Chain A
Amino acid sequence: AQTVTQSQPEMSVQEAETVTLSCTYDTSENNYYLFWYKQPPSRQMILVIRQEAYKQQNATENRFSVNFQKAAKSFSLKISDSQLGDTAMYFCAFMKHPSNAGGTSYGKLTFGQGTILTVHP
């Protein structure tokens, strides 16, 4: 079974600075997807960024980028130029690729515990 660990329950950062959220995972699979989701106070789950394990290049989406270290099973999220609107809970998540996902694993997201990020003015 896959596990996802976010070791930082809470983080804070000053507006305009950079912050990195950590995520490690455990799997024996070679092909999978990794995600970061943002959950603001509205509770909506918003996809921030995704990474396909077979791609070496780290994913980026505007101010958000990841550091994907497949061998170390690490998937950290870097937020540059932090904004007040980035204040939210952030979840790291794992999904098996469908080619090797059977039974109850198909389409299932395995989430970490979450990190509460507060951006201070």
Chain B
Amino acid sequence: EAQVTQNPRYLITVTGKKLTVTCSQNMNHEYMSWYRQDPGLGLRQIYYSMNVEVTDKGDVPEGYKVSRKEKRNFPLILESPSPNQTSLYFCASSLLGLDSFNENLFFGSGTQLSVL
């Protein structure tokens, strides 16, 4: 089954304790991205990656890091989480190569993060 898998679904942590949210897709998609969802703001893009070793900032990258060492994985790293990073996070992937574009994004199930 084609899917984007995020883990964990729920995470409670304390300020300053490094954490990683994993994302994996099994569709051989070049494009992957991370969004955060906050009440009244909708979803906003944090980082995206157009292929292995190619990543770039989205609209709200401060406080986050990503890596793309393999095509299927795109982890989101919070090196020193703060309470303002409490949010619902989504990973998404799509076939967005320059020669083969499909505008439909596949979303993971979301990770609800609470930073105390």
Interface residues of A (CB under 8 A from B): 4, 6, 9, 33, 42-45, 47, 50, 91, 93, 95, 98, 103-104, 106-109, 111-114
26 A–B contacts, CB within 8 A, in A order: A42-B109, A43-B110, A44-B110, A45-B110, A47-B105, A50-B104, A91-B43, A95-B103, A98-B98, A98-B101, A104-B56, A104-B59, A106-B50, A107-B31, A107-B33, A107-B50, A107-B96, A108-B45, A108-B48, A108-B59, A109-B35, A109-B92, A109-B105, A111-B43, A112-B42, A113-B40
| CB-CB nearest in chain A for B109 | A44
Contacts of B33 in A (CB 8 A): 107-108
Contacts of B48 in A (CB 8 A): 104, 106-108
User: Contact flags (1/0) for B67-109 with A, using CB distance below 8 Å?
Assistant: 0000000000000000000001010101010100101110101
A104 touches B58 (CB 8 A): yes
Q: A45-B107, A106-B50 are in contact. Are A111 and B96 (CB under 8 A)?
A: no
Knowing that A50-B103, A91-B43, A93-B43 are A-B contacts, what are 18 other residue pairs whose CB atoms are under 8 Å apart, sorted by A's residue number? A45-B110, A47-B105, A95-B103, A98-B101, A103-B56, A104-B57, A106-B48, A107-B31, A107-B33, A107-B50, A107-B94, A107-B105, A109-B35, A109-B92, A111-B42, A111-B43, A112-B42, A114-B42
Measured CB to CB, the closest approach of chain A to B30, in angstroms, equals 9
Interface residues on B, range: 20 to 34
A47 touches B31 (CB 8 A): no
CA distance A6 to B45 in the complex (A): 18
Q: A43-B88, A44-B110, A104-B56 are in contact. Are A91 and B101 (CB under 8 A)?
A: no
Q: A43-B88, A111-B42, A113-B41 are in contact. Are A106 and B96 (CB under 8 A)?
A: yes
Measured CB to CB, the closest approach of chain A to B84, in angstroms, equals 18
CA distance A49 to B112 in the complex (A): 26
A98 touches B88 (CB 8 A): no
CA distance A4 to B44 in the complex (A): 12
B43 touches A44 (CB 8 A): no
CA distance A82 to B58 in the complex (A): 36
Could you tell me which residues of chain B, from 26 to 72, have a CB within 8 Å of some CB in chain A?
31, 33, 35, 40-45, 48, 50, 56-59
Give me the 8 closest cross-chain CB pairs, A-B, nearest first. A111-B42, A45-B107, A43-B110, A111-B43, A107-B96, A33-B103, A98-B101, A113-B42
